Amino acid sequence: MRRLTVRHFDLDQTLCCGQFFDWTSEDGGYRIHASGRDFHAAQQGDSLIIEGVDEAFARGFFALDHDPEAMLKTMPRDPSLEKAFKAFGRLRLLRQDPWECLVAFLLSPVSNQPRIQRNLLALRHATGLEPENMRDEARLRRLGVGFRASFLVSAADVGAGKETLRRVRGVGDKVSDCVMLFAYGDYGSFPIDVWTRRVLRRLYGRQSPDKALRLWAREHFGPWAGYAQQWLYAWFRQEER
DNA sequence: TGCCAGGTTATCT
DNA sequence: AGATAACATGGC
């Protein structure tokens, strides 16, 4: 067990904001499966208590080297972003494993956060997320993933390589942008989905095809646009509910 | 019951 | 290029 001192960090925001799904609540904290590890994390004020992984991994995974307040300062100021930051500015974009991240977001089309999470846990229990156990489409379908089963089979075939991502069935602009942002460290990436589309239309007066939106957002928010995306996504979603 | 859910693809014009 | 339906499943 290790206790790390953290600043401007919130574990709940970080895990519940929709970037990562392989966790369950346990003992006042979270049981987390990431990068092939199985560990526990809990927060008490400025302490992050980890059990089952070394400190170096935790610092990397939770991106404790990031400074959200410094990022905000690099962005054009506006009231929406300020509110979103106030509500969710203590989340960190986790450094995810590309394969695990790809699998998770292949489950996301026309789904929702609770279901993605449920599907992913079922998938891990059934296959260990090993590609060789993801080649039987009918078996995957029985886990409740629906039409996304064929996406997983394709992913098992092609893998999650940065250059070959787009060859995976089920990987379009949005899923690709998510993997680039959450696993490959492309922090300027701004994935466009139903929620960020609404944010850009209603809060920023932008209405154009997704391709143009993602470029505009990347340009507008700058090199840390991915963080702006996550703050806005989490905040706007909460507001709308 | 009927609609919608962190999209992508095939199939039109 | 831009619009539209289909894709499985579950929750409300």
The pLDDT tens digits for A170-212 are 999 999 999 999 999 999 999 999 999 999 999 999 999 999 9
Between CA A232 and C1' B2 the distance (Å) reads 31
Output the pLDDT for position A240.
79
Q: Which residue is nearest to nucleotide C11 (CA to C1')?
A: A115
Output the pLDDT for position A165.
98
Q: Report pLDDT digits (tens) over A87-122.
A: 999 999 999 999 999 999 999 999 999 999 999 999
Which tokens sit at A124? 């891990």
Output the pLDDT for position A7.
96
Between CA A16 and C1' B4 the distance (Å) reads 21
Which tokens sit at A208? 């154009």
Cα–Cα distances in Å, from A206 out to A82, A110, A153, A200? 19, 23, 37, 5
Asked if strand C contacts A110 at the CB level, meaning under 7 A, the answer is yes
Between CA A169 and C1' B10 the distance (Å) reads 13
Between CA A22 and C1' B8 the distance (Å) reads 23
Output the pLDDT for position A119.
98
SS (H, E, C) A32-99: EEECCEEEEEEEECCEEEEECCCHHHHHHHCCCCCCHHHHHHCCCCCHHHHHHHHHHCCCCCCCCCHH
**A44 vs A164: CA distance, rounded Å:** 41
Token pair 């925001």 in the structure block, residue: A13
Asked if strand B contacts A108 at the CB level, meaning under 7 A, the answer is yes
Between CA A156 and C1' C7 the distance (Å) reads 20
**A133 vs A95: CA distance, rounded Å:** 25
What is the average pLDDT across A14-28?
Answer: 97
Q: Which residue is nearest to nucleotide B4 (CA to C1')?
A: A110
Between CA A106 and C1' B1 the distance (Å) reads 30
Between A66 and A240, name the one with better pLDDT: A66
Output the pLDDT for position A141.
98
High-pLDDT (> 70) share of chain A, %:
100
For Cα atoms A159, A165, A168, give the angle at the middle one, nearest 5 degrees. 70
Output the pLDDT for position A241.
63
SS (H, E, C) chain A: CEEEECCCCCHHHHHHCCCCCCEEEECCEEEEEECCEEEEEEEECCEEEEECCCHHHHHHHCCCCCCHHHHHHCCCCCHHHHHHHHHHCCCCCCCCCHHHHHHHHHCCCCCCHHHHHHHHHHHHHHHCCCHHHCCCHHHHHHHHHHHHHHHHHHHHHHCCCCCCHHHCCCCCHHHHHHHHHHCCCCCCCCCCCHHHHHHHHHCCCCCCCHHHHHHHHHHHHHHHHHHHHHHHHHHHHHHHC
Q: Which residue is nearest to nucleotide C9 (CA to C1')?
A: A146
Cα–Cα distances in Å, from A77 out to A43, A59, A221, A225? 30, 29, 9, 13
Which nucleotide is at minimal CA–C1' distance from A112?
B5
Residues 6+ apart with CB under 8 A from A66: A92, A93
Asked if strand B contacts A112 at the CB level, meaning under 7 A, the answer is yes
Contact A40, A27 (CB under 8 A): yes
